[in-house]
């Protein structure tokens, strides 16, 4: 009797599952769902997503093992993206499951919804647009480029050694974000390439978050409870980062008290953490709020820039004609660089072709390769796909940059000209097609500041050095929430002839 009841239950559930999943992306196996295809292609997940979405018209469904609620609607259709991120913004939120997966982010701007998100956004918008912060950021990055980045690259080229340029950018952006947010330079980027525990911990947190996306919730929850595998690594990494941040917050409160006593308001107290402490009272901006704000700012201003710069130099190094045109533009505007001068914010704004090359990099290799939302109420997407309440939706930004329907038949080519008008200005592309900085009300507040920093760094390196990829090096995207190179970016640096 039990056997027949079990068989009847399986048949009913099988047909129920078939009705629920009307647009399957992979083979839906009994009990284990579509997980086998995902795990078999996990090592090449981004390119695999391109292939699958192309073959299904840009949108489809993924269902995980039974009873795991690991079900997603996945899309790379710009009309759907526009609908979700802009037109029907209020119906699509990060949601509680997102906050659970991205637990390390706390209640910061990336995970918050509703009033909490609005408060964070208004706060950071006022900070980023303040002229004093723009000047502080520009001064900080130019100083770091001049005194650390170029010094290290000069040392590398003199010794003729191979260097991992991604590691160099990791260290550079970590030092820079620490200086900008915390007013503290940990000196990760120095000639001896020291191992900095907090920088390593930050990387481990992001890798662990990625695995929470591809593992059933019950599995990683058990691992977290037992403190084993990736979850143990994540717990230890978060503890290291939190201890580091809370110690700095305590010292900042002391420093701020001294600033107030001495009535100082100069650049020694101009970093974002100090400004956040000044902006609200201790109940509004307590230690937890400050910690979450700092973590979110680190993600926004550190790994995304590392990713963009790494892929930019790989693309430029493998496309010599583009490199030649970037140098031609720099030389036409500023001549030779005999004094190793670092360009200012106003100067790099003139570099339109460089801007186009960076946009192409972000199109082909978006630092955040996928975005996630949850529907509050049922909806029908412009593509005709039905969305049930609480449906989890994934956007593949990586796939969107490789679709002929969006970018044309030359979508796989590095073509900065695609961003330049006939009059020599920058072409506007709707954010729902070029989603590297998100779209709609959640569009990245630091977009202009990011372009500023990338241009300053790219121009400084290209004016002084030629980057040559080590023979046999083939970049593979890492399994992380940020699109980095799995085995680093090995290059040789040679002096640029003036």
Name which of 13, 146, 118, 49 is nearest 479 in CA terms. 49
**What's the mean pLDDT in 424-436?**
91
CA angle 267, 270, 272 (to 5 degrees): 155
The residue to which tokens 């004094």 are assigned: 339
pLDDT-above-90 percentage for the chain = 47
Q: Residue 234 burial (CB < 10 Å; 0-12/13-18/19+)?
A: buried
The residue to which tokens 């001549």 are assigned: 335
Q: What is the pLDDT of residue 337?
A: 65
Q: What is the mean pLDDT of the chain?
A: 86
Q: Annotate 410-459 with DSSP letters as a single string.
A: TTTS--GGGGB-TTSSBPP--TTTS-TT--GGG--TTHHHHHHHHHHHHH
Strand bridging mode 370-375 / 92-93: antiparallel
Name which of 434, 415, 241 is nearest 325 in CA terms. 415
* pLDDT of 9 over the 50 cut: no
10 known member of a binding site: no
* pLDDT of 13 over the 60 cut: no
**What's the mean pLDDT in 216-225?**
87
How many other C-beta atoms lie within 10 A of the C-beta of residue 224? 18
Long-range contacts of 277-284 (CB under 8 A, 24+ apart): 277/252, 277/253, 279/123, 279/127, 280/123
Choose between 199 and 103: higher pLDDT: 103
Q: What is the pLDDT of residue 22?
A: 66
Q: Residue 121 burial (CB < 10 Å; 0-12/13-18/19+)?
A: middle
Q: Give the pLDDT confidence of 64-103 residue by residue, as tens digits.
A: 787 677 788 999 999 999 999 999 999 999 988 888 888 8
Q: What is the pLDDT of residue 259?
A: 62
Q: What is the pLDDT of residue 251?
A: 82
**What's the mean pLDDT in 404-417?**
94
Contact indicator for 68, 32 with CB cutoff of 8 Å = no
* pLDDT of 429 over the 50 cut: yes
* pLDDT of 325 over the 90 cut: yes
Q: Which segments of 321-429 are extended strands (E)?
A: 370-375, 379-380, 386-387, 392-396
CA angle 429, 434, 437 (to 5 degrees): 115
Q: Give the pLDDT confidence of 20-67 residue by residue, as tens digits.
A: 556 666 677 787 777 778 788 888 888 888 998 998 888 988 887 876
Structural domains of the chain, with CATH: 35-62+70-189+299-495 (1.10.630.10)
Cross-strand pairs, 373: 393
Q: What is the pLDDT of residue 189?
A: 92
Q: Give the pLDDT confidence of 221-276 residue by residue, as tens digits.
A: 889 999 998 899 989 988 988 888 888 888 887 777 766 655 555 445 678 888 88
Alpha-carbon distance of 323 to 245, in angstroms, equals 40
Q: Can you say whether the dihedral through the CA atoms of 327, 328, 329, 332 is positive or negative?
A: positive
Helix/strand/coil percent split, the chain, to 5: 60, 10, 30
Q: Give the pLDDT confidence of 106-120 residue by residue, as tens digits.
A: 888 889 999 999 999
* pLDDT of 16 over the 60 cut: no
Query: Could you tell me the pTM of the whole model?
Result: 0.89
Choose between 334 and 419: higher pLDDT: 419
Q: Give the pLDDT confidence of 103-158 residue by residue, as tens digits.
A: 888 888 889 999 999 999 998 888 888 888 888 999 999 999 999 999 999 999 99
Alpha-carbon distance of 84 to 178, in angstroms, equals 34
Q: Give the pLDDT confidence of 359-396 residue by residue, as tens digits.
A: 999 999 999 999 999 999 999 999 999 999 999 999 99
Cross-strand pairs, 490: 164
Q: What is the pLDDT of residue 294?
A: 87
CA atoms within 13 A on the CB side of 325: 15
Cross-strand pairs, 62: 72
């Amino acid at each position: 009797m039990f056997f027949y009841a079990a068989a009847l239950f399986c048949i009913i559930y099988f047909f129920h599952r078939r009705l629920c999943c009307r647009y399957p992306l992979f083979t839906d196996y009994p009990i284990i769902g579509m997980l086998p295809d995902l795990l078999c292609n996990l090592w090449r997940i981004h390119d695999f997503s391109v292939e699958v979405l192309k073959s299904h018209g840009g949108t489809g469904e993924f269902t995980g093992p039974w009873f795991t609620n690991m079900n997603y609607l996945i899309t790379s259709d710009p009309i759907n993206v526009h609908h979700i991120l802009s037109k029907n913004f209020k119906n699509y939120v990060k949601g509680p499951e997102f906050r659970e997966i991205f637990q390390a982010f706390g209640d910061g701007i990336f995970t918050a919804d509703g009033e909490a998100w609005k408060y964070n956004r208004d706060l950071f918008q006022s900070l980023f647009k303040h002229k004093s912060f723009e000047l502080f950021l520009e001064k900080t990055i130019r100083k770091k480029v001049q005194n650390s980045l170029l010094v290290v690259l000069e040392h590398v080229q003199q010794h003729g050694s191979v260097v991992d340029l991604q590691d160099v950018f990791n260290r550079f952006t970590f030092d820079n974000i620490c200086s900008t947010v915390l007013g503290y330079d940990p000196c990760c980027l120095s000639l001896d390439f020291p191992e900095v525990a907090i920088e390593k911990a930050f990387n481990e947190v992001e890798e662990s978050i990625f695995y929470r996306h591809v593992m059933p919730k019950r599995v990683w929850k058990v691992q977290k409870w037992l403190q084993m595998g990736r979850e143990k690594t994540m717990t230890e990494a978060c503890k290291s980062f939190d201890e580091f941040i809370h110690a700095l917050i305590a010292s900042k409160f002391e420093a701020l008290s001294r600033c107030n006593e001495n009535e100082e308001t100069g650049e020694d107290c101009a970093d974002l953490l100090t400004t956040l402490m000044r902006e609200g009272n201790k109940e509004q901006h307590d230690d937890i709020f400050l910690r979450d704000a700092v973590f979110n700012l680190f993600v926004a201003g550190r790994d995304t820039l590392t990713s963009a710069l790494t892929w930019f130099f790989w693309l430029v190094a493998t496309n010599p004609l583009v490199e030649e045109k970037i140098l031609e533009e720099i030389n036409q505007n500023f001549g030779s660089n005999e004094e190793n001068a670092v360009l200012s914010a106003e100067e790099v704004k003139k570099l339109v072709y460089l801007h186009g090359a960076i946009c192409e990099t972000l199109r082909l290799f978006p630092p955040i390769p996928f975005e996630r939302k949850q529907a509050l109420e049922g909806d029908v997407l412009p593509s005709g796909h039905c969305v049930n309440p609480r449906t989890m939706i994934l956007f593949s930004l990586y796939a969107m940059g490789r679709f002929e329907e969006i970018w044309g038949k030359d979508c796989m080519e590095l073509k900065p000209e695609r961003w330049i008008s006939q009059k020599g200005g920058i072409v506007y592309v709707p954010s729902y097609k070029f989603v590297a900085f998100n779209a709609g009300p959640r569009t990245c507040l630091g977009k202009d500041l990011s372009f500023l920093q990338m241009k300053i760094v790219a121009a400084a390196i290209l004016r002084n050095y030629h980057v040559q990829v080590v023979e046999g090096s083939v970049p593979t995207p890492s399994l992380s929430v940020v699109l980095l190179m799995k085995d680093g970016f090995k290059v040789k640096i040679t002096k640029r002839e003036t």
